[in-house]
Structure formats: C-alpha cells, structure tokens
Structure 1
Amino acid sequence: MTPVIWRRADPSDAPALSLLGGATFLASFAHDHPGDALIAHIGKAHGLDYYQAALADPEQHVIIGETALGAPVGYALLTPPNLPVDPEPDDYELKRIYLLGPWQSGGHGHALMEMALEAARERGAKRLLLAVYPQNDKARRFYARQGFEQIGRMTFMVGDVPFEDMVYARKM
C-alpha cells in the first residue's frame, strides 16, 4: 500500500479538502442516500467556503493525509462539540474522519485516529465525541476497536432528507 504522509492542514489545503470531503462522502453514502439530497449536502457541507472557514478557525483542527506525490487520500476534522448530548466541559468532537477506499487498510485509519486523539488531548479534551451512520457497519466496528461507545442518537440532515445517526464517545 502506498504510504500516507499525515500533517496538520493549512489554508492552502482547502481546495483539496473540499474535493476529498465530497468524494469520500459520496463514496460512503451513494448506495442508500437520494442523489439530489446527497449532492445538495456535499455542495454545502464540503464546499470550498466550508473548509476555508474551518481552517481559519483556531478552535478547529484539520489533519490531511497525502501520497508522496501530494494527492490527498484522507482527513480528519475536529471541532468544539455540536452534538445533542449532555456536554462535559472538556469535550471535543471528531466531526469527520475519512479515507479513500484504497487506503482503508494497512493501519492508515488507526494512524489517522491516533493523530486525531493527540490533537484532542493537546486541546485538553477528556472525552472525544463523534456521530456515525448506523448502517455504516465498517465505521462502527472501527470506532468500537478504538474504544468508542454509543451514548445517544441524533438526526443528521443530508440535503432535506433526515437520517438517524448514533453518537459515540471515548474517554481520553
């Protein structure tokens, strides 16, 4: 497998993150999300403006993984928590963690999660939260191996279509 070079993203990475975010979301959910809703969601939640704002916000932390040739293959986005659970004072949220399919093995997901956990610890987080689609069995198994447990449920809008997600947490 091609090695991945992980680093903290900077403002120049916004175009790559927008493409990668849209591609990974589409690859993950095209099988059971309506096309129009999926396209609307990707346009809004993975647009260039979204990633420019995230990279400019000191409260957010973005990690990007690239091949040696500079092609983006994975990323993680951490933010202050915005999930419908009782927050603890030192919570942080892993809002997104995605790898392109060919890089979803060989320890790349574990390496990205370790970097995300370290970023959360550096911010003083005592608990990391995330939301996951219940039908995404592969992701749910990965999170369980990483020590996450379900603590709630929420509605996640994709365009104008509601989906139910599970909220997970992991003590640091």
Structure 2
Amino acid sequence: MILYRTPTIADGPELAEMARTSFVETFGHLYRPEDLDAFCAAAFGPDTGIPAQLHDPALSFRIAAVDGRIIGFAKLGPRTLPVENADPRAMELRQLYVLSPWHGQGVAQTLMDWTITTARAAGAPQLYLSVFVDNHRAQRFYQRYGFADIGRYSFMVGAHEDEDRLYQLDLA
C-alpha cells in the first residue's frame, strides 16, 4: 500500500537519497561525472539540498512511501523560473520524482493532484515547471494535466547546460 504524507526533518537524508537515485537513474548517463557530482551535492546534499530545504517554510513537500521506504516526492514553492510578466503569486513545481519501479502505478498522478490542489489553496493563479527537452514521457504527463509549453529554459547540471522546456498551467 502506498502512503502519502508530509515529510518530517528526520526524512531528509532518505528523501535526498531517493531523489539522487531517481535523478541519476534517469539522467546520469548524460553528464560528465564531475558535473553530475556537483549537481547532486547542491540539489541533494545536507547543506543546500533537500534536507536543508525541509526547514524552508516557503516550500511544501509531499512524499509517497511503501513499507516505510520513500518511493516518490513532489516539491512546491514560489516561482523562481524566469517567466516574463508572471504573477507574483504564481508557484512552481520544483521537483516531482518517482523511482522507476513505481512508474505507471499512480504515484506521479497522486503527487501532481496534491501539487495542483496545494497551489490553488495558496491562491496561485498559475503553476510553472521545467522539464528536460528529451524527457518526452514527463512532457506528455504534464500536457495531460493541461500544462502548456511556453518556451525554453537553460538548466545547469554542474557546468553542463541542458535545454529544458518551461510549462505553465493556469489554475483559475
């Protein structure tokens, strides 16, 4: 049975390791080891990554767990993506990761439903995200929710620049 809950500070190390595992299994083959290591240290490390971010009241997290093991999560916060003329109340889905054995099991849908509901409850008129240009599975997933591609975004992994696509969902 999959349980969904808000993580605690104590979940930080396990959540960071799950996120790192998901990122590396999906994208690790694309990068030089030094770029991947630099990205993972910043995104998932204890000082600047997920464990530290659990303390940030501007960010909201939701995790999916099976038998006490974290298998997926979503992170929602204020918009930081470079969108022209964006409403200051807009929010951003910063991460939505699900370990590959759980793809197709409804985990991503449940986490996305939570994300949209939480953003609406916070009064956000739009929800933004970015997705790797070649991650077609994720793009189709977001498009099914009504997200529209609104342009290009440079996403840095260490010193490597990737092309991401910016997506917007109107919540009104």
Both structures adopt the same fold (TM-score exceeding 0.5) = yes
Where 1:56 maps in the other structure, the secondary structure is coil
Counterpart code for 1:159: G
Spell out the pairing of 1:84-163 with structure 2 (5 A cutoff).
84-86=82-84, 87-163=86-162
2:14 is aligned with what amino acid?
A
Aligned to 1:77: 75
TM-superposed deviation, 1:60? 0.5
CA contact (8 A) 2:79 2:91 kept: yes
**How far, CA to CA, are the matches of 1:92 and 1:14 in structure 2?**
23
Deviations 1:97-151 (A, max 9, x none): 0100011112221111001111212211111100000100111111111111111
Structure 2 stretches lacking a partner, 5+ long: none
Compute the RMSD of aligned alpha carbons: 1.2
SS of 1:48's equivalent in the other structure is coil
Q: Which residue of 14, 18, 21 corresponds with 1:23?
A: 21
SS of 2:29's equivalent in the other structure is coil
Name the amino acid aligned to 2:7. Answer: A
Unaligned runs of 5+ in 1: none
SS in 2 for 1:105: coil
* Residue in structure 2 matching 1:9, options 7, 11, 23: 7
2:165 match: secondary structure: strand
Contact 2:61 2:73 in 1 (8 A): yes
> Is the CA contact (8 Å cut-off) linking 1:85 and 1:152 kept in structure 2?
no
Match of 1:57 in 2: 56
Is 1:59–1:79's contact at 8 Å kept on the other side of the alignment?
Answer: yes
TM-score (norm 2): 0.93
Letter in 2 for 1:95: R
1:119 is paired with a residue whose SS is helix
Question: What's the % identity of the aligned pairs?
Answer: 36
Which 4+ stretches in 1 moved above 4 angstroms? none
2: CA distance, partners of 1:5 / 1:79:
22
SS in structure 2 at match of 1:78: strand
Whichever residue aligns with residue 39 of structure 1, its letter is D
Tell me how far 1:84 sits from its aligned partner: 1.0
- CA–CA separation in structure 2 for the residues paired with 1:62 and 1:147: 22
Residue of structure 2 aligned with 1:39, choices 37, 40, 64? 37
Cα shift at 1:80 = 0.8
| Alpha-carbon separation, structure 2, partners of 1:13 and 1:121 | 26
Q: How many residues align?
A: 169
Q: Secondary structure at the match of 2:54?
A: helix
